[in-house]
Amino acid sequence: MFRRDLRPDSWFFSFLVGSLSRSLFAFAALAKNQTSKGFAPVTIETSRHMYEYVATALDWWHADRYCEQHFAQLLVEPQGNEQASFSKLLHSHHIRGSVWLNERDGVLHKPKRRRNHIVPVLVFGHKTDTKYVKVLSDFPALPAVTACAHLQWDTRTQEIATVFSYAVPAFINEFQLRGFVDEEGFVRFALIVHEHHSPYLPVFRADGQWHHFCVTWQQENGTWAIYADGKRRASASGLCALGSAPQAIYGQGTFIIGQDQDSLGGSFKEKESFSGNITDLHIWQKVLSVEQIEKVRSCWVVEQDLVFRWSSNTLEVESTVQEVTAQFLCPGPVEECRVFEVGSSGFSYASCLQTLPFICLYRKDAYWQLKKAHLESSHSLVGRVNMLAERTVIPESIFTSDVQDMNLSVALGALDVLATVLKERETSVLESSDLLSVLQLLKQVSDVEVQEGEELKMLEQLGQYYVEVTELILEEQNIETWSSVSQVIRGPMAVVELCDKMVSLLAPLLTAGRTKIMVQHGNVGMEVRKLELGKQLTSEAYLVQTSEKDSHDLIEVPAEEMQRLKARGLHKLVVKNMWFGYSSLQRCLSGTDNTVVFQDTPASDGGQKYLSTVVGTAVISTALLSDYQEISTSVRYHLQHHVQDLSNTPVGPICAFWNFSLSPDAGGMWSTSGCSVVTSLPDSTACFCNHTTNFAVLLQVYNMQRTTKEELTLQTLTFIGCGVSFCALIVTFILFLAVGVPKSERTTVHKNLIFALAAAEALLMFSELAKTNQVVCFMITAFLHLFFMAAFSWMLVEGLLLWSKVVAVNMSEDKRMKFYYVTGWGFPVVIVAVTLATSFDKYVADTHCWLNIQTNVIWAFVGPVLFILAVNTFVLFRVVMVTVSSARRRSKMLTPNSSLENQIGIQIWATAKPILVLLPVLGLTWVCGVLVHLSVIWAYVFIVLNSLQGLYIFLVYAVYNSEVRNAIQRMKDKKKALSFTNCSHPINYLSSPRNTTSWETGRPSVAESALSSPVQKDPPVKNITNKGNFGAKIPMGISSIMSPERPAVELTAFKSSGF
């Protein structure tokens, strides 16, 4: 483990490094002893869980790994009201003392994974003015800096010692760290920048152990901090020159380890020299975050802005400084993990390397499923594997198996034998216990810790075997086996999690000459690649050839995302990709409730009936890492459909990802958050998602409720009806503008309604032509949404206008019109704008230019429409009540002796006529749209009624409208008069004395009457009262509806001439 080249009298090195050696060897022996013998756990059953108390003491990591490999989890901290009862439960089974606890959040606040880290160690045996180490690196100017290292402090002296010093010609003490041991036994550090000195503050105990430290400083405000063993021990600001602008640490200086420079690169003093051991010094041109400092403490190097990396090749070591190679177990013995005190029902912390008993927590149904699989097992697979390997590779019982710390060689041999047995099996279907045993072995292999210096060629071969074994157990004939153990493994996506761990192990294979490692076997593939964000940025795609000829699946990070990452200051990335072709994985996911999409519910347009949702493609994933931290970025993926038995069945694609945090007991579920369909073809779908994870395309299966012929008929009727309606609306609008209809509230409302409805009908007719152009289709959808909402809003205004004629409204005409315009145009604009802002990616449907009915976007249209229909229904009901009441009173006044049948007939007609007149104008025919999914007949009724709405408006507002007809008649009379006067009396007309006489007598001639053509005023509104019982104001037109002598019909206070 160590290489020594020392003098016999090197007592200090022997003590310090020897103590490290003894602790490491002791730990290795302890771990070997812990995992070499079995033990019988104590089982405790409750109403919801099963607990296994393991009396054999293990460190926290081995305890956590033991539970995970047994398909359980380490005991989670009991909540407040459960602590006492749980402690009593353990007491009743004679369990005492302390047990390890898992964090309730599921993530330990310090890294779980320890690394065996082999590094060169510099040994400064005692204080002297000759021992030093010079860093051979050209340092740039440092506006911010972080320096980290592992350190053993010599406890024999309390004098000041300089850990490192950086000098430039302008400032000899430009950047320096020094410390001493105080009387209380703590090492105190002080930081010097620009010859300004921070106070000495305690950072760690002088106990002769290895400690990790980091110091940070930044130019802005001179802010500095000192970290020890992952925790911030001191911080402040103002460590800079006073009275001047803060300056960066100068570049091109001399960096010395172990001595204080009193001149540039020399003039060392013994009393200020360092005595102890130091290793793993790294320097960055930035301030590291707390998370990054924790990773550095765990022996991971943060690559971003690294200006000096610890290496023997970059050090000039003075001959008396001893350099040895040592193996560290990172992050070290100072980590603390949570402990449950059974006796006191309290909690405490202990070193994670301390050995304690622990408790594994099972879900009750999973535990008994696990037991059942074990009892029904024939152990044929396990026996065959162990026989070929000539040792116990897989224990016969997963309940009594121990934690096994595998190295690369052992893991490679185990998977090699297992793959051979799986391929040679006479019966291809795995037993439940066999599948669980294989998964248990895969868990152990994925936990292999690659040691530095090991043969990395074995690592790539291990990846090949791992993928091969995974592909063999995912074969479709094993679907029933996967379903039988679903409760134990928390769903089939558990194998995806294992492969994600394995692909991370392949990262050490990446070098400057080999930037991509790709492993694939059958329906499983994985890839890891190194990515440098240089000047030429292109999209990074992972392309997988599928079983179909000339087809492939791919996932890529767009070039614009790469540019965004580069702008964030990222330069080097590691990309992990995985692909799982169509196999038992997808069939298991399709056969469970986990296929239900988390956010969006299936919708139907009436032509299809939703049946189910299946996973119809491969599962593909990607992840980007920078300095071992995952980075969120958007991706695009394109997957081929693989559902052969649904070739003649309509399906709706949904872009989704597997969210492990949803429904954790089931292992997660599908979610559509942040994902949308880009393009959808019969055999494939392209998607966009704004994050990285495991993706697939879910296919919603429908049952056709309408035949192709019926769909074509409905489309033809829609086009013809919209065409007729559009032409009728345009003619009506032109008539309103051309014939001089008197201006009023009602004419303004009618014109706005006609314009909005005509624009919507025109866009609807030509929307099918824009399906192929995504941008045009999006714009047409937005305008369709706007104009249909405006049409309905003006229908609401029609109802409000009618209400103002029935019920007195205390509002001036000007204020009413402003309110009408805000309602008719402002309301739709706000709805469309808010919808686009909140659901831009989900706005348009996949197959046509209209709102996406598969998402909540459709409610931005349906919701307001339902509200408007409800209001107008109430208005219509009130109008009908008024007209029926008025018809009854009029009938009694005009025909008091009429028969009962005649009176009933009059009342029925009085009820039916306003309904027939007002129903289309108020938009109430759209209520039929709610019923289209029941039968194709309702679809025909809905299309006919609403497609001919424009024709109906033309007939009522133009053809049978007395004001329009009177205006047209006046135009005809005026034209006839002009023609008559110009032809018969071209000279004497203006000076005719008969004209004068006519005006004087007040009786103008016929010609003069035609020329003057006075505009008729609206008829006065009659107030019909009944001895105070009814005082509502009734328009003349509404009264005429009930009149038995007058067959005329008036529409919303329009005078009509009769049908």
Question: pLDDT, tens digit, for every residue of 298-309?
Answer: 777 888 888 998
Q: pLDDT (tens digit, 9 = 90+) per residue, 568-577?
A: 777 788 899 9
Looking at residue 826, what is its pLDDT?
Answer: 93
Which residues are registered as beta bridge partners of 479?
none
The number of residues making up the chain comes to: 1059
CB-CB contact of 849 with 780 (8 Å): yes
Please indicate whether residue 378 or residue 503 has the higher confidence score (pLDDT): 503
Looking at residue 216, what is its pLDDT?
Answer: 94
What is the distance between the alpha carbons of residues 828 and 1042, in angstroms, rounded to a whole number?
36
Token pair for 440: 């248990």
Looking at residue 399, what is its pLDDT?
Answer: 67
Please indicate whether residue 497 or residue 406 has the higher confidence score (pLDDT): 497
CB-CB contact of 705 with 608 (8 Å): yes
Looking at residue 935, what is its pLDDT?
Answer: 59
Looking at residue 924, what is its pLDDT?
Answer: 58
Q: Return the DSSP state at 221.
A: G
What is the distance between the alpha carbons of residues 60 and 403, in angstroms, rounded to a whole number?
12
Looking at residue 226, what is its pLDDT?
Answer: 93
Give the mean model confidence (pLDDT) for residues 611-625.
Answer: 85
> What is the band of 15 on the pLDDT scale with cuts at 50, 70, 90?
very low
Give the mean model confidence (pLDDT) for residues 1028-1032.
Answer: 36
- Burial class of residue 73 in the structure, from the number of CB atoms within 10 Å of its CB (0-12 exposed, 13-18 middle, 19+ buried): middle
CB-CB contact of 906 with 899 (8 Å): no
Looking at residue 638, what is its pLDDT?
Answer: 93
Q: Return the DSSP state at 848.
A: S
**For 780, what's the count of Cα atoms within 13 Å in the CB-facing half-sphere?**
21
Whether pLDDT at 290 is above 90? no
Whether pLDDT at 846 is above 80? no
Q: Return the DSSP state at 847.
A: S
Whether pLDDT at 860 is above 80? yes
Percentage of the chain beyond pLDDT 70 is 73
**CB atoms inside a 10 Å sphere around CB 806:** 18
Looking at residue 10, what is its pLDDT?
Answer: 46
Give the mean model confidence (pLDDT) for residues 797-810.
Answer: 74
CB-CB contact of 338 with 13 (8 Å): no
CB-CB contact of 248 with 142 (8 Å): yes
CB-CB contact of 360 with 73 (8 Å): yes
What is the distance between the alpha carbons of residues 1044 and 928, in angstroms, rounded to a whole number?
32
Looking at residue 831, what is its pLDDT?
Answer: 92
Token pair for 319: 């001959």
Please indicate whether residue 93 or residue 949 has the higher confidence score (pLDDT): 93
Looking at residue 149, what is its pLDDT?
Answer: 92
> How far is the CA of 775 from the CAs of 54, 235, 778, 844, 860, in angstroms?
63, 54, 5, 10, 21
CB-CB contact of 1032 with 809 (8 Å): no
What is the distance between the alpha carbons of residues 883 and 904, in angstroms, rounded to a whole number?
14
pTM above 0.85, yes or no: no
Of 259, 288, 261, 287, residue with least CA distance to 274? 259
Whether pLDDT at 447 is above 60? yes
Please indicate whether residue 455 or residue 224 has the higher confidence score (pLDDT): 224
Looking at residue 934, what is its pLDDT?
Answer: 54
Whether pLDDT at 533 is above 90? no
Q: Measure the CA dihedral 58/449/408/458, to 10°.
A: 170
Q: pLDDT (tens digit, 9 = 90+) per residue, 161-192?
A: 999 999 998 888 889 999 999 888 889 999 99
What is the distance between the alpha carbons of residues 575 and 1002, in angstroms, rounded to a whole number?
98
What is the distance between the alpha carbons of residues 414 and 391, in angstroms, rounded to a whole number?
10
Point out the least confidently predicted range of 110-119, 466-475, 793-802: 110-119
**For 956, what's the count of Cα atoms within 13 Å in the CB-facing half-sphere?**
23
CB-CB contact of 77 with 102 (8 Å): yes
DSSP alpha helix (H) spans, 325-392: 364-375, 380-389
Q: pLDDT (tens digit, 9 = 90+) per residue, 696-724?
A: 888 776 554 556 676 677 777 777 878 88
> What is the band of 4 on the pLDDT scale with cuts at 50, 70, 90?
very low
Looking at residue 8, what is its pLDDT?
Answer: 35
Looking at residue 911, what is its pLDDT?
Answer: 65
> What is the band of 643 on the pLDDT scale with cuts at 50, 70, 90?
low
Please indicate whether residue 537 or residue 972 has the higher confidence score (pLDDT): 972
> What is the band of 554 on the pLDDT scale with cuts at 50, 70, 90?
very high
> What is the band of 649 on the pLDDT scale with cuts at 50, 70, 90?
low
Looking at residue 1049, what is its pLDDT?
Answer: 33
Give the mean model confidence (pLDDT) for residues 967-989.
Answer: 66
Give the mean model confidence (pLDDT) for residues 545-569.
Answer: 82
Looking at residue 646, what is its pLDDT?
Answer: 56
First to last CA, the chain: 106
**For 395, what's the count of Cα atoms within 13 Å in the CB-facing half-sphere?**
17
Residue found under tokens 């289309």 = 920
DSSP for 765-792, written as a single string: HHGGGGTT-HHHHHHHHHHHHHHHHHHH
Looking at residue 808, what is its pLDDT?
Answer: 57
Looking at residue 783, what is its pLDDT?
Answer: 92
Looking at residue 987, what is its pLDDT?
Answer: 44
